[in-house]
Amino acid sequence: MIGDRNPAEDRCPPPGGKSVLWNNALLGLGLALMITALYLVFMYVPTEKTMGDVQRIFYFHVPLAWVAFLAFFVVFICSILYLWKRDAKWDIFARASVEVGVIFTTLVLITGPIWAKAVWGVWWTWDARLTATLVLWIIYIAYMLVRRYTSDEARGARFAAVVGIVGFIDVPIVFLAIQLWRTQHPGALVFEGGLAAPMLLTLMVSIAAFTVLYIILTARSVTLKNLEEAVRRLKGSQ
Amino acid sequence: MRETFISIFAIFWKDILSGLRTKEILTSVLVFGLLVLVIFNFAFEPGAGIRESVAPGILWVALVFAGVLGLNRTFDPEKENSCIEGLMLCPVERHVIYWGKLASSLTFMLMVAVIITPIFLALFDLPLFLPRLALIIALASLGFSAIGSLFSALSVGTRARDLLLPILFLPVAVPIIIAAVESTGLILEGRPWGDMWTWLQIMIAFDIIFLVISTLVFEFVVEE
């Protein structure tokens, strides 16, 4: 059936060539960075004086949170670009990024309480950062639900883009409101130079490793969604 | 400019008329709001000691949940007999439809609040005349209807309309809910205006930001 038509019509993203090279280079870089980060976190960096070994989770917790915010920022930008340009490419980017963002936020919400229980003695407090992260997580789960519950593909993309924009703008306001309400989370030590040099190095390497991981996962997800799209087109044109 | 206002008013008045004639939305939302007050009374048994600390929360849970219930019906009636298509065919800009819907849902929300709040104050034996509380309710309701009308239009376009609206609406409305509960608490404690100012600022900022954003993105929600 497929052979009857002009092959250019049902072209899939061609495997091989430059993109595979890029993919492999990225994977290699990600692997190297991740192993280095693990070495630094568990072997190199000195144990924190008051908190002890449990503080090492910081080197995963903070990079995960950073990448989650980066992912949602990408969703925000892609949502604006989609509504503006109406190119399905931006929608696919946003969809891929939101999935990684939600997974990373979930990990932030798991690693945080593990640390908090040991240091603060409680799993959870209604502090600005914690609560804002929780609200953020729910907003982007709602984003994914909007997609799932919309039958029409293009409409789902528009709806999701609207949620992606409103949700991202809402988060700073949520943060501000909760900060005025109560706060307990340690402040941004990193920018005040309150972090010892080996700790800062470990944190930076870890952030780099997780950022590369985010790019790899998002790129994979984009490829997968393009292939799904191609399959749908082929099925539809039978 | 004048024509825009006339168009907004026409959409607003159509909703108010049909709402007042059927009375079903207003009645069910009111009964629901009262039920929330009653159920919280069982949940907390507000004695004299904890009255001030739980009362603002109870009022706002009742108003927010009743508000969501009402917002669910903002665009729902338009789905019957494809009225929404008629609305979209109106020779007006899309944001005019948004402002019309915003005006009508805000009015319904305020009508519900005007009835529920005095009942709440009476049930919990609090002072009945609180003009500052009226201001808080007005600012919060404006914020709720600003994002609520947008998300209501969005969720009627999906397969899970009644389910999706609260999931979208409540997390985004968090700043308003916090500000409203906190400032209501300050009012009930009889604190001066100055203490409330931060919360008023948050609500005003939220209202302005989301009125602008929703006006801008509404056309993407209703476009076919």
Query: Where along chain B do its domains lie?
Result: 2-222
Residue A178 structural domain: 18-45+52-236
What is the pLDDT, as a whole number, of residue A4?
Answer: 46
Which of A170, A171, A182 should be substituted to probe chain B, the one whose Cβ sees the most B Cβ atoms within 10 Å?
A170
Q: Do the beta carbons of residue B86 and residue B222 sit within 8 Å? A: no
Which of A131, A137, A158, A179 should be substituted to probe chain B, the one whose Cβ sees the most B Cβ atoms within 10 Å?
A158
Of residues B33, B32, B31, B53, the one with CA closest to residue B44? B53
Q: How far apart are CA B117 and CA B108, in angstroms?
A: 14
Q: Is residue A9 part of a domain?
A: no
Q: Is residue A125 part of a domain?
A: yes
Which of B162, B168, B218 should be substituted to probe chain A, the one whose Cβ sees the most A Cβ atoms within 10 Å?
B168
> What is the average pLDDT across A153-166?
91
What is the pLDDT, as a whole number, of residue B216?
Answer: 92
Give the tens place of pLDDT for each residue, A65-123: 999 999 999 999 999 999 999 888 899 999 999 999 999 999 999 998 888 888 888 88
Q: Is residue A2 part of a domain?
A: no
Task: Answer whether A83 touches B (CB < 8 Å).
Answer: yes
Q: How far apart are CA A75 and CA A99, in angstroms?
A: 10
The CA distances from residue A18 to A14, A22, B67, B88, B184, in Å, are 10, 6, 54, 47, 61
Q: Is residue A142 part of a domain?
A: yes
Q: For the whole model, what pTM was predicted?
A: 0.86
Of residues B188, B207, B55, B92, the one with CA closest to residue B133? B188
Shortest distance, CA A79 to any CA of chain B (angstroms): 11
What is the pLDDT, as a whole number, of residue B19?
Answer: 84
Give the tens place of pLDDT for each residue, A189-218: 554 556 778 888 888 899 999 999 999 999
Cβ-Cβ contacts under 8 Å, A160 against chain B: none
* pLDDT confidence bin for B196, thresholds 50/70/90: confident
Of residues A81, A83, A206, A74, the one with CA closest to residue A140? A74
* pLDDT confidence bin for A2, thresholds 50/70/90: very low
Give the tens place of pLDDT for each residue, B105-156: 999 999 999 999 999 988 888 888 788 899 999 999 999 999 999 999 999 8
Q: Is residue A170 part of a domain?
A: yes
Rounded to the nearest integer, the mean pLDDT of chain A is: 84
Q: Is residue A156 part of a domain?
A: yes
What is the pLDDT, as a whole number, of residue B152?
Answer: 92
Q: Do the beta carbons of residue B147 and residue B27 sit within 8 Å? A: no
Rounded to the nearest integer, the mean pLDDT of chain B is: 88
**Upper half-sphere CA count for residue A12 (Cβ side, 13 Å):** 15
Task: Answer whether B175 touches A (CB < 8 Å).
Answer: yes
What is the pLDDT, as a whole number, of residue A3?
Answer: 42
Shortest distance, CA A101 to any CA of chain B (angstroms): 17
CB-based contact B175 A174, cutoff 8 Å? yes
Percent of chain B at pLDDT exceeding 70: 97
The domain total for chain A is 1
- Under DSSP, the state recorded for A52 is B
In chain A, positions 121-160, which contact chain B (CB-CB < 8 Å)? 135, 138-139, 141-142, 145-146, 149-151, 155, 158-159
CB-closest option in B158, B178, B213 to A181? B178
CB-closest option in A139, A159, A173 to B221? A159
